[in-house]
Amino acid sequence: MYQIDLRGKNALVFGVANEHSIAWSIARLLKEAGANLILAYQNERFGRRVSNLVSSMDNVSLVECDVSKDESIQGTFETIKDSFGKLDIVVHSVAYAGREDLQGNFSETDRENFAMSLDISAYSLISILRYAGPMMEDGGSVIAMTFHASEKVYPGYNVMGTAKAALENIVRQLSSEFGKDDIRVNAISAGPLETLAARGISGFPDMKHVHAERAPLKRNITHDEVGKVGLFLCSDLSSGVTGSVIYVDAGFNIMAI
């Protein structure tokens, strides 16, 4: 338990698929800090898993939301407005690319798949903020999850690198737009972590190995280390931070070789 008090704050977290999800690492700590947790799951299948995960917790609400559909996002926020009135924290920890587009030549990325990946992994943050912004009456904090492939080439990461570059740009543009309402928007750039989404990336074990070998801290990061920075960004401790990409990667991104 860290000394951060989020009692009375309503936190909406997108992207919990199971106990290995980065979203869960953050959600868990938000809950421990006293926040009322609302978990938005993708579909019925994930809903069952998430419901099992939180079965022993109180003050956790679940809502279904497919971020590729505007009507689903709108419906989610209407439901939340009816039950909670206002929002203080939003965590966007969502990404998608077809397995076939996370391997092979980038030049072979299919047009429709490209649009779908960018839509779910990047555009969805714009759509979410459009509804969340007006509900953050007392200001708020929004965080998104990104990866170093937004800047450097990771063979195999392909279209997801493009999506992360777009996402980081979106974080900056939204932080500029919503700053006057005391709504902060930041991204965490995490090092490789074993999750459901990571399983789809070809060469992921090698990437993890290289990170541990070259990073200044000479190891991989843990889920909990991302959770702790998430908690910091969602709390008042980071009140002067917006539009930033904070690396939680054991320092890997600063190395040239």
Ligand X SMILES: NC(=O)c1ccc[n+]([C@@H]2O[C@H](COP(=O)([O-])OP(=O)(O)OC[C@H]3O[C@@H](n4cnc5c(N)ncnc54)[C@H](O)[C@@H]3O)[C@@H](O)[C@H]2O)c1
For the chain, the distance separating the N- and C-terminal CA atoms, rounded to the nearest angstrom, is 37
53 near ligand X (CB under 6 A): no
Q: How far is the CB of 188 from ligand X (least distance, A)?
A: 8
Residue from 4, 46, 136, 215 that binds ligand X (CB under 6 A)? 46
Q: Is 202 in the site for ligand X (CB under 6 A)?
A: no
Under the binding rule (CB under 6 A), the answer on residue 221 touching ligand X is: no
Of the residues 41, 154, 164, 247, only one is catalytic, namely: 164
Q: Stretches 4-12, 168-176, 187-195, 211-219: which one binds ligand X (CB under 6 A)?
A: 187-195
Shortest Å distance, C-beta 5 to ligand X: 26
Candidates 14-22, 104-112, 174-182, 212-220; binding stretch for ligand X (CB under 6 A): 14-22
Question: Closest distance between ligand X and the C-beta of residue 64, in Å?
Answer: 9
**Residue 147 touching ligand X (CB under 6 A):** yes
Considering only 53-61, 94-102, 105-113, 168-176, which stretch makes contact with ligand X by CB under 6 A? 94-102
Q: Which of 192, 231, 232, 238 binds ligand X (CB under 6 A)?
A: 192
97 binds ligand X (CB under 6 A): no
164 in catalytic set: yes
